[in-house]
Amino acid sequence: MSQEWDAGRLDSDLDGVAFDTLAVRAGQHRTPEGEHGDPMFFTSSYVFRTAADAAARFAGEVPGNVYSRYTNPTVRAFEERIAALEGAEQAVATATGMAAILAVVMSLCSAGDHVLVSRSVFGSTISLFEKYFKRFGIEVDYVPLADLSGWEAAIKANTKLLFVESPSNPLAELVDIAALSEVAHAKGTLLVVDNCFCTPALQQPLKLGADIVVHSATKFIDGQGRCMGGVVAGRSEQMKEVVGFLRTAGPSLSPFNAWIFLKGLETLNLRMKAHCANAQALAEWLEQQDGIEKVHYAGLKSHPQHALAQRQQRGFGAVVSFEVKGGKEGAWRFIDATRLISITANLGDSKTTITHPSTTSHGRLAPQEREAAGIRDSLIRIAVGLEDVADLQADLARGLAAL
């Protein structure tokens, strides 16, 4: 924003305020119109007062907008709000969650660098590392997520990044983020955490020692399955490089989607509490049902990392995965028998969704890669929404009856 306009009292004083207040008000800088809501700036370019003004802005000598590929007031408001919620110095928005991962690696790594990735990550994340990053000379290896000694042993002299999802998709596996950050920093590497499943409402990896956080804002940050976007947050030193990548390569977030995400953030904490409550109830119910062989949810006392989840998260999330009898055929019969829950691979919606990971989100992986990630043919994933939990149980009961 131009420094020639001083909003004064029109902007809120956010010094020392709590999470929910930041989620509603952080990042908004009111214009001379005095608007109360977040404005949408639909413009590709910006007008300068003089040729010298244009030159100074393009050179970065004075603050101000240049071109909406990398500076837009609505997008910046979203970035500032995410940075406030994650406790980051700066955030950078991208067109999708995958673009956020792309931006981190392309801006911080070079040919010959080595990246360690947790074995249990989203299928498209594996494809990005395997099919594309390797093609340009980045070395990639995989480590079991929770194996701290394995991470330490796998770090090499040229290791630049450790990349993890915690909780993981779809098995809700965790890593001790504080402990892994100590391992990374002792070896001079950066720790990147995909915080999509928890959002900053449930977990703040930067405060646990991580260096960079990435999100698919498409999921819970939006919260209603309306649009796509991503965001990277961390120290300004690294984010400056990410901005440089966006400025050149252009995987930019649209202002309209940024505005949608701003509205989503206003209710994020409330929604995540409701998601968690529904997911907990369904996980406990599923664990008692015949036909269910195993339930994966960190909120269950049977989960091997339940204590860790209690320690580093403020809730257990909305994603519940479970294995049914009958392998792939049983899983498909279960899914097809439901009548309320949406069959789709997206998650983070107010509507509950159900999917078969081994043939959808992880379907492009080789069988041995799926096996290594624990993605069995009998596995079903539900992303629990905000419906009445009794109605969700009744619909899942239809699936159980089909086994």
Residue with tokens 């306009």, as numbered in its chain: 5
Q: What is residue 59's predicted lDDT score, i.e. its pLDDT?
A: 92
Report the length, in residues, of the chain: 403
Does pLDDT of 3 surpass 60? no
Tell me what the mean pLDDT of segment 354-377 comes to. Answer: 85
290-328 tens-digit pLDDT: 999 999 999 999 999 999 999 999 999 999 999 999 999
Q: What is residue 370's predicted lDDT score, i.e. its pLDDT?
A: 82
Question: What is the distance between the alpha carbons of residues 251 and 77, in angstroms, rounded to a whole number?
Answer: 18
User: CB 33: neighbour CB atoms within 10 A?
Assistant: 7
Structure tokens at 143: 């480590």
Q: In terms of Cα–Cα distance, which of 138, 141, 143 is closest to 109?
A: 138
Question: What is the distance between the alpha carbons of residues 134 and 113, in angstroms, rounded to a whole number?
Answer: 10
Per residue, the 3-state secondary structure of 142-202, as one string, reads: EECCCCHHHHHHHCCCCEEEEEEECCCCCCCCCCCHHHHHHHHHHCCCEEEEECCCCHHHH
Q: Which of 133-142, 310-319, 373-382 has the lowest mean pLDDT?
A: 373-382
Q: What is residue 8's predicted lDDT score, i.e. its pLDDT?
A: 86
Tell me what the mean pLDDT of segment 341-345 comes to. Answer: 96
4-8: long-range pairs with CB below 8 Å, 24+: 5/31, 5/32, 7/31
Q: What is residue 149's predicted lDDT score, i.e. its pLDDT?
A: 98
Question: What is the distance between the alpha carbons of residues 145 and 147, in angstroms, rounded to a whole number?
Answer: 6
Non-local (6+) Cβ contacts of 245 within 8 A are 103, 106, 107
Q: In terms of Cα–Cα distance, which of 162, 234, 52 is closest to 243?
A: 234
pTM equals 0.95
The amino acid at residue 36 is H
Tell me what the mean pLDDT of segment 40-45 comes to. Answer: 96
Does pLDDT of 286 surpass 90? yes
Phi-psi region of 26 (alpha: psi -120 to 50; beta: other; left: phi over 0): beta
Tell me what the mean pLDDT of segment 169-181 comes to. Answer: 95
Antiparallel, parallel or unpaired: β 342-343 and 353-355? parallel
Q: At 217, phi and psi to the nearest 5?
A: -70, -15
95-125 tens-digit pLDDT: 999 999 999 999 999 999 999 999 988 888 9
Q: What is residue 57's predicted lDDT score, i.e. its pLDDT?
A: 93
Question: What is the distance between the alpha carbons of residues 296 and 82, in angstroms, rounded to a whole number?
Answer: 29
User: Inter-axis angle of helices 236-249 and 97-108, to 10 degrees?
Assistant: 110
Q: Which of 27-36, 316-325, 371-380 has the highest mean pLDDT?
A: 316-325
Query: Is 107:241 a contact under the CB 8 Å cutoff?
Result: yes
Structure tokens at 209: 């020692």
CA distance to 5, 56, 91, 247, per residue, from 62 (Å): 14, 6, 20, 17
Does pLDDT of 365 surpass 80? no
Query: Is 296:172 a contact under the CB 8 Å cutoff?
Result: yes
Non-local (6+) Cβ contacts of 38 within 8 A are 28, 74, 77, 259, 262, 263
Query: Is 202:314 a contact under the CB 8 Å cutoff?
Result: yes
Question: What is the distance between the alpha carbons of residues 204 and 19, in angstroms, rounded to a whole number?
Answer: 11
Tell me what the mean pLDDT of segment 9-14 comes to. Answer: 92
182-239 tens-digit pLDDT: 999 999 999 999 999 999 999 999 999 999 999 999 999 999 999 999 999 999 999 9
Question: What is the distance between the alpha carbons of residues 144 and 166, in angstroms, rounded to a whole number?
Answer: 12
Percent of the chain with pLDDT over 90: 90
The amino acid at residue 296 is H
Q: What is residue 22's predicted lDDT score, i.e. its pLDDT?
A: 97
62-78 tens-digit pLDDT: 989 999 999 999 999 99
Query: Is 109:134 a contact under the CB 8 Å cutoff?
Result: no
Does pLDDT of 42 surpass 80? yes
Does pLDDT of 2 surpass 60? no
Q: What is residue 369's predicted lDDT score, i.e. its pLDDT?
A: 78
Question: What is the distance between the alpha carbons of residues 75 and 258, in angstroms, rounded to a whole number?
Answer: 5
